Chains A and B, each alone.
Chain A
Amino acid sequence: MLSMNPLEKRRQFAGLCLAVGLVIEALCLLWATPIAFVLFVAIGGSLMFLGLVLYLTSLVNTGRSDRRPEW
């Protein structure tokens, strides 16, 4: 179940992308064919990249929301 908090939701979505990307990469490693290489790079790699970017963005946004006003 996705959280109601937008930051947590983004982090969960990042986690989903990473987990699915990792599972695809694991399956491709077990399946030694040229198409597995393509899937590893294209699908697994893209999902991992998306997950990492989303996670890092959520970290940056958390930092911003935690910052106290200067005055």
Chain B
Amino acid sequence: MLHATTLIVSLIVFSAVVIAVLVVRPAITATRGGKILAFVAMFCLPIFCGLLGFSREMGRAKTTAFCLSCHTMEAYGKSLLVDDPTHIPAGHFQNHRVPPDEACYSCHTQYAMFGGLKVKLYGLKHVAIYYFGTPPAPENIKLYEPYNNRECLHCHLGARSFEDGVVHNADPATLPAIKSNQLSCISSGCHEIAHDLAHLKDAKFWKEGK
């Protein structure tokens, strides 16, 4: 991944140098070849570099390390290591039910059209609040929208553990209610323990990688 960044940065610097030459010596663009060079350098290359860079930044913005690099998110990162399988984020992170290097994004994106872009815009809002507003205490942070079952069902729909689960099938109305988002997966009595920051100080933690 470091090589990819180096390559993209090299291409960007190359484009910037070519553009700088055209700015300093505009006479180059008087000839047909110069006009073609100017078009490539000032239109094609910047768009190509911009898209490559944006894709790289978006990829990086999905990583767990990126989300947890904000001080406000520290406690949420710690909650991934709680040694209790009933803690949904901890169970998913520690058992690799989600890619551990993209743990936050995997559960908090929206598996819908432009969902990834929408959650990144929410992320920009977080950063704006962090730098220009008053960020709430970690335990007071709320989701912008109620958690949608669609995000859980993206992976669990069709899985034997979900479809044939005893509790899910105890009442014939339960499974359709879950699938239609009428009954939340994280509702009381079900998979309700998400990031339980209030009890974090008393929790036992998994020693990662040992």
Complex partner residue of B9 from A26, A33, A51, CB under 8 angstroms: A26
Which interface residue of B42, B56, B66, B127 has the most chain A CB atoms within 10 A?
Answer: B42
* A18→B16 CA distance, assembly (Å): 7
Q: Is B177 an interface residue (CB 8 A)?
A: no
B23 at the interface (CB under 8 A from A): yes
Inter-subunit contact B69/A22 (CB<8 Å): no
Q: Which of B22, B38, B57, B123 contacts A40 (CB 8 A)?
A: B57
Q: In the complex, which residues of chain A have a beta carbon less than 8 angstroms from the beta carbon of B47?
A: 52
> B53 on the interface (CB 8 Å rule)?
yes
> Which B residues are CB-close (under 8 A) to A48?
46, 50
- Output the nearest chain A residue to B30 by Cβ-Cβ distance: A8
0 or 1 for each of B8-19: is its CB under 8 Å from A? (1 = yes): 110011011001
What bracket does the count of chain A residues touching chain B fall in? 20 to 34
B70 proximal to A (CB < 8 A): yes
Interface size range of chain B in the complex: 35 or more
Q: Report the nearest A residue to B4, measured CB to CB.
A: A29
Residues of A contacting B54 with CB < 8 Å?
40-41, 45
A15 and B19 in contact, given A21-B46, A22-B46 (Cβ under 8 angstroms)? yes
Given contact pairs A19-B16, A29-B56, A52-B42, enumerate 15 new A-B contacts (beta carbons under 8 Å): A15-B19, A15-B22, A18-B19, A19-B23, A22-B15, A22-B16, A25-B53, A30-B9, A33-B69, A34-B69, A34-B123, A40-B53, A41-B54, A41-B124, A45-B54
Residues of chain A whose beta carbon lies under 8 Å from any beta carbon of chain B: 3, 8, 11-12, 14-16, 18-19, 21-23, 25-26, 28-30, 32-38, 40-41, 44-45, 48, 51-52, 55-56, 59
- The list of the 5 closest CB pairs from A to B, nearest first, reads A15-B23, A22-B16, A26-B12, A19-B19, A19-B16
